[in-house]
């Protein structure tokens, strides 16, 4: 067996880059842009740092997610980046609350961009943004030097670090604290915003009915979407949302939700048709050091 580091280990140690794909992207302009948007997002735009993106959430009045966004100041505008799946719902949500505000929305044609992560990001001059749980920058062009990560490697790194993804761990029924988003995307000392009352109440209570967790095990990752986790006693304990085979561990890794009242650390994995896919054990983040 070779003693050389694996490609994944090299990416974890040195960093790399990958193509972001087409994202939902738009600008907000107008005299009221900061005041207006600060009343819509969970983080404090008063703390925006030039050249650095603010991680934030746009919520319903019931505190559930409409979108996970990154926001930064760009000249006399605010730029917002979000998952392409919210390209229709996010504009409608934001425009609905812009009643008497001096704001304009410039919905832009998406263009390809690239994300450099880890130590390699320190060598690049771009927009600072954490997309994989580590320091990173977004660039308009392919960066010279860093290794390119495959989609499978990016997914491994994302799951290892417990970074939830829209359409998988995140959706319109997700509360911020369920996915651990309050740690990076919520400011509990800022002024009012849509959904704040619910988010603050959950924080004061200190728990949700479920929480995002990492899992390792011998199970088929190809059929794990929305698979059910059963305890040794046969009780439904949660679900898996993302899974992939990890070439270094020679095991499957996954992100999923465990119910607050679930007991134990080991679970059987069953798909929607009731077939057993294998076994999974809960593991702390990062799943790989």
**Percent of the chain at pLDDT exceeding 90:** 90
> Distance between CA atoms of 14 and 199, rounded to whole angstroms?
37
229 beta partners: 238, 269
Instruction: Determine the topology of domain 176-283 in CATH.
Output: Elongation Factor Tu (Ef-tu); domain 3 (2.40.30)
Q: Specify the pLDDT at position 1.
A: 46
Q: Specify the pLDDT at position 111.
A: 79
Pull the structure tokens for residue 214: 């990492």
40 prior amide bond cis, ω within 30: no
Are the beta carbons of 69 and 134 closer than 8 angstroms? no
29 CB-near residues (< 8 Å, 6+ apart): 76, 77, 78, 103, 104, 106
Q: Can you give the pLDDT of all 289 residues of the chain as single tens digits?
A: 457 899 999 999 999 999 998 899 999 999 999 999 999 999 999 999 999 999 999 999 999 999 999 999 999 999 999 999 999 999 899 999 998 899 999 987 777 899 999 999 999 999 999 999 999 999 999 999 999 999 999 999 999 999 999 999 999 999 999 999 999 999 999 989 999 999 999 999 888 999 999 999 999 999 888 899 999 999 999 999 999 999 999 999 999 999 999 989 999 999 989 999 999 999 999 999 8
Q: Which residues in the chain are classed under CATH 2.40.30.160?
A: 176-283
Pull the structure tokens for residue 250: 């020679």
Sheet arrangement for strand 65-74: 54-59, 65-74, 77-82, 24-29, 104-107
Pull the structure tokens for residue 201: 């109440």
Q: Specify the pLDDT at position 6.
A: 96
Are the beta carbons of 152 and 242 closer than 8 angstroms? no
> Distance between CA atoms of 72 and 5, rounded to whole angstroms?
37
What DSSP state is assigned to residue 84? G
Q: Specify the pLDDT at position 289.
A: 84
Please write the tens of the pLDDT for every residue from 157-194.
999 999 999 999 999 999 999 999 999 999 999 989 99
Q: Which residues of the chain form beta strands (DSSP E)?
A: 16-19, 24-29, 54-59, 65-74, 77-82, 104-107, 114-117, 127-128, 136-139, 210-219, 227-230, 236-246, 251-259, 266-270, 276-283
Name the CA radius of gyration of the chain, rounded.
20
């Amino acid at each position: 067996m070779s003693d050389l580091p694996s490609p994944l280990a090299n990416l974890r140690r040195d960093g790399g880059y990958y193509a972001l794909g087409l994202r939902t992207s738009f600008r907000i302009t107008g005299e009221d842009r900061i005041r207006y948007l600060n009343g819509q997002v969970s983080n404090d735009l008063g703390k925006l740092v030039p050249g650095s993106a603010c991680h934030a959430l746009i919520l319903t009045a019931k505190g559930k997610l409409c979108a996970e966004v990154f926001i930064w100041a760009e000249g006399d505008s605010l730029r917002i980046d979000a998952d392409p799946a919210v390209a229709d719902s996010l504009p409608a949500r934001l425009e609905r609350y812009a009643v008497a505000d001096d704001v304009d929305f410039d919905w832009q044609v998406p263009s390809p961009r690239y994300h450099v992560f880890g130590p390699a990001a320190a060598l690049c001059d771009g927009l600072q943004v954490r997309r994989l749980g580590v320091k990173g920058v977004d660039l308009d062009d392919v960066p010279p030097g860093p290794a390119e990560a495959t989609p499978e490697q990016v997914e491994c790194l994302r799951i290892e670090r417990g970074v939830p993804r829209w359409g998988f761990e995140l959706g319109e029924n997700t509360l911020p604290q369920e996915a651990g988003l309050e740690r990076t995307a919520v400011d509990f000392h800022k002024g009012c915003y849509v959904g704040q009352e619910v988010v603050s109440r959950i924080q004061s209570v200190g728990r949700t009915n479920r929480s995002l967790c990492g899992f390792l095990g011998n199970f088929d990752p190809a059929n794990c979407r929305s698979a059910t986790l059963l305890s040794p006693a046969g009780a439904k304990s949660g679900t898996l949302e993302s899974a992939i085979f990890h070439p270094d561990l020679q095991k499957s890794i996954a992100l999923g939700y465990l119910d607050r009242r679930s007991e134990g650390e080991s679970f059987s994995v069953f798909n929607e048709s009731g077939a057993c896919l294998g076994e999974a054990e809960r593991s702390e983040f990062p799943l790989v050091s």
